A and B are shown apart, each in its own frame.
Chain A
Amino acid sequence: MDNTCPLSELETGETAIVQDLRGGYGFRSRLAVLGFTPGVKITMLQNLSHGPIIVNLRDTRIALGRGEAKRVLVKLNRKGK
């Protein structure tokens, strides 16, 4: 398996590529509009162990609830893991 994981597991400062969105139509549509489309680069700006996270993609900072972040699948370029 490649290193695909939910966005919520990215650590602060890590960068990944968006793979897929899971969930209902409204949710996927809203995120896709904001630029969460497969292939786009995404950087985790803040991920505490609980509560919402903050990411940067397409020059925009976006806060996402933890539940929402779990439904965004990303592919990680983490070295040595």
Chain B
Amino acid sequence: MTESEGKLIRVALAGQPNVGKSTVFNLLTGLNQHVGNWPGKTIEQKVGTCHYKDWTFSVIDLPGTYSLTANSPEELIAREYIIKEKPDVVVVIVDAAALERNLYLVSELLPLSVPVIIGLNMIDVAQQQGVKIESHVLEAALGVSVVPMVATKGQGMRELLVRIQDVICDGAEYTPNAPDIRADHKDVLERIESLINDHVPPEYPRTWVALKILEGDKQLTEMMCLRLPKETWDEVYSIIKQHEDACVAVASGRYAWIARMIRAAIVKPRAGPILLTDRLDRWATHPLWGLLILAGILALTFWLTYAIGTPLQELIDVYVVGTVAHLVTMALATAPSWVTGLIVDGAINGVGTVLTFFPILLIFFAMLGILEDVGYMARAAYVMDRFMHLMGLHGKSFLPLFLGFGCNVPSVLGTRVIESERARLLTILIAPLVPCTARMAVVAFLAPAFFTAPTIVTWGLLALSLLVLMLSGLFINKVVFKGEHLAFIMELPLYHLPNWRTITLSIWQRLLSFLRKAGTIILAVSVIVWALSALPGGDIETSFMARFGRLLEPVGRLIGLDWRMMVALLTSFIAKENAIATLGVLFGAGDSEAGLAAILRTTLTPAAALAFLVIQMLFIPCVATVAAIKQETNSWHWTTVSVVFLLVVSLVGGVLTYQIASLLAH
């Protein structure tokens, strides 16, 4: 090969969770990265490039995985990528402070036919614990390059790039010491290998497939079941059946190999010091203090939202959006009114909606980013696990769901902190049932207008929302996910100081992807809803929206609501607080909220009002949330499921409320 000209090297970054892999990725690629999704998955895919001398490195960040057995979609993605896309090098980041467990992934990567380089990260943390690692001894034992690094301080990156080049240039010298198989399984393995020999797709290493089948790997077992002739498969199957314990035995074998590999390379103190992590955890995971600390953090988040976020939102709304709208209206003074409407009430309003989300998103993303980066997230999950189990969820879903009380958008986007794809999907589906501040604002306005004890009604509605949330969680878990029990197994990583570079980058990326993906949907829907409520006549009373509302009147009768209330629900799709403005226009109360309250009192029975509030609480979320759901699930299918599900739940809730309340009133 010619080395003089610039060359492209494809690097895959692998590693277990919590090893600083994203820090390494960010250091290497900086702002030259793109965040998307793995095809057909809700799992984040990050790709980026970096340059060193005249070489270009195209880096792909594989999902963090403990192993390469297809126990989760993440593991499947990582291994399929390595096997099928064949990157030039796989860089595995390992945590020096938990070397044994981290080398497990390495033991799975070495048998694949792609060169491996180990990035031995967090050597500073290991040193603090009195652990000494001789990286060159480890290198000699494993037969692969080992690069010591402290990613949080930017140390070791250049060395890593140099070693990657070395591997590419001297490819022939790459002779890893792949783990051997324990003697008691050797014969079985050879038997399986000879049986499947001619039927393994060429890109898969045969020995590796044989071992994975013996381990009980579902995906590869199914693949071979389809490819093998029936009698051969039966024979393979009977061997697997006889060795059902093999998954533990093979893992034990790998750990025994790891112990041999690191024996000479690592010196550990007999009794480790009491770590800061252990001391902090006495508080953070304490049954009482842990809850109080979590409550404190949540209180702080919401305080920040109200102290900084909401005023900023209003500033943006009044000064930025308001000024632009005003200027455009003036500039379009001579244009037909529908043009002004389309641009000002449709487009600028839509862009304004997107913009006003920024302050709140910024605060929530920052909070999530920091909690995740310092290692606290797992503790919050541990403390909340018992409660989340009530709805078939794990502790990790708690924080994103709780953020929903502020706004459902960051709640949905925040589900990225949940590793399991299934738990993430379930959390996204029920997240809109957490009543956000905008929904509560509508309740706060309407409840006092109808009821003598609005506080009780408000708390009742809140309790109802949470009850429906819980039941929906159980229901979706049972029906969609077949009630499969999700084992609660979670690593509690070491605490460390926040890495601002990683946190700012993650905030920036999340904001950017919201703007790009959700922003366009919000804008489009804003324009459409404007058109429906302004055309053809220019006022909402005669608009398409109103005609549609009248069509819905038969449904409305079941709930005791006339078409104007139905239209109010429809327009709340843009933003929940729109419901009140729409009612103001339709009931001719103008901007006077007190006037509207008085009119509503005379038109609606208390039963119908209660039904309206129930629907409003459980209804389809605002367009921004729906856009966020589309962005996160990366699927119109799940977005539709979510919308239809909430539509049915809210209407059923409304009908039941009206009918029962009417009965009780008589």
Contacts and interface: CB of A to CB of B under 8 A. Distances in A.
Interface stretch (B93-101, B308-316, B444-452, B629-637): B93-101
B317 interface: no
A32 B487 contact: no
A10 interface: no
Given A21-B248, A32-B252, A37-B251, A59 B489 contact: no
A25 B278 CA distance: 32
Contacts of B98: 58-60
B255 interface: yes
Contact of A29 (B71, B278, B382, B491): B71
B492 A29 contact: no
Contacts of A29: 69, 71, 215-216, 247-248, 251
B71 A26 contact: yes
The listed residue with most B CB atoms (<10 A of its CB), out of A33, A35, A51, A61, is A33
Contact of A38 (B247, B252, B386): B252
B287 A48 contact: yes
B488 interface: yes
Interface in A53-81: 54, 58-65, 67-68
B378 interface: yes
A54 B255 CA distance: 22
16 contacts: A25-B244, A26-B71, A26-B487, A29-B71, A29-B215, A30-B66, A32-B251, A33-B69, A33-B251, A35-B100, A37-B248, A39-B252, A52-B382, A61-B493, A63-B385, A65-B489
B66 A33 contact: yes
Contacts of B487: 26-27, 30, 65, 67-68
Nearest to B245: A28
| Most chain B CB neighbours (cut-off 10 Å) among A27, A30, A50 | A30
B285 interface: yes
Interface string B243-269: 010011001100100000000000000
Nearest to B277: A61
A64 B492 CA distance: 10
B489 A60 contact: no
Contact of A35 (B101, B244, B278): B101
A-B pairs, 8 with minimum CB distance: A65-B488, A32-B251, A61-B492, A37-B252, A33-B67, A59-B98, A29-B247, A51-B386
Contacts of B381: 63
Interface string B79-114: 000000000000000000111110010000000000
B541 interface: no
B281 interface: yes
A24 B620 CA distance: 39
A63 B378 contact: yes
Interface in B91-139: 97-101, 104
Interface of A: 21, 25-35, 37-40, 45-46, 48, 50-52, 54, 58-65, 67-68
Nearest to A26: B71
Contacts of B598: none
Given A29-B247, A65-B488, A50 B285 contact: no
Nearest to A71: B487
Given A54-B382, A62-B489, A40 B255 contact: yes
A30 B285 contact: no
Contact of B247 (A25, A46, A52, A58): A25
B490 interface: yes
A31 B100 contact: no
B100 A52 contact: no
B386 A59 contact: no
A25 B69 CA distance: 12
Contacts of A37: 248, 251-252, 255
Contacts, number: 104
Nearest to B494: A61
A58 B100 contact: yes
Nearest to A55: B492
A32 B382 contact: no
A23 B100 CA distance: 25
Contacts of A30: 66, 71, 487, 489
Given A26-B71, A33-B69, 9 more contacts: A29-B251, A31-B489, A33-B104, A37-B248, A59-B98, A59-B100, A60-B101, A63-B489, A65-B489
Nearest to B493: A61
A11 B491 CA distance: 20
Contacts of B285: 46, 54
A6 B244 CA distance: 21
A20 B386 CA distance: 26
B69 A63 contact: no
A13 to B, nearest CB: 12
A50 B285 CA distance: 13
Q: Most chain-B Cβ atoms within 10 A of its Cβ — which of A30, A40, A62, A63?
A: A63
Contact of A60 (B244, B252, B491): B491
B384 to A, nearest CB: 10
Contacts of B492: 54, 61-63
A45 B284 CA distance: 13
A63 B247 contact: no
B248 A32 contact: yes
Contacts of A61: 277, 281, 491-493
Nearest to B215: A29
B71 to A, nearest CB: 5
Nearest to B255: A37
B488 A64 contact: yes
Nearest to B253: A37
Contacts of B99: 59
B22 to A, nearest CB: 19
Interface centre among B252, B285, B378, B487 (most CB of A within 10 A): B487
B212 to A, nearest CB: 11
A62 B490 contact: yes
- Chain B CB count within 10 A is highest, among A27, A38, A59, A65, for A59
A75 to B, nearest CB: 16
Interface string B186-221: 000000000000000000000000000001100000
A63 B248 contact: no
A48 B227 CA distance: 50
A38 B101 CA distance: 15
Contacts of A67: 487-488
A24 to B, nearest CB: 9
A26 B486 CA distance: 10
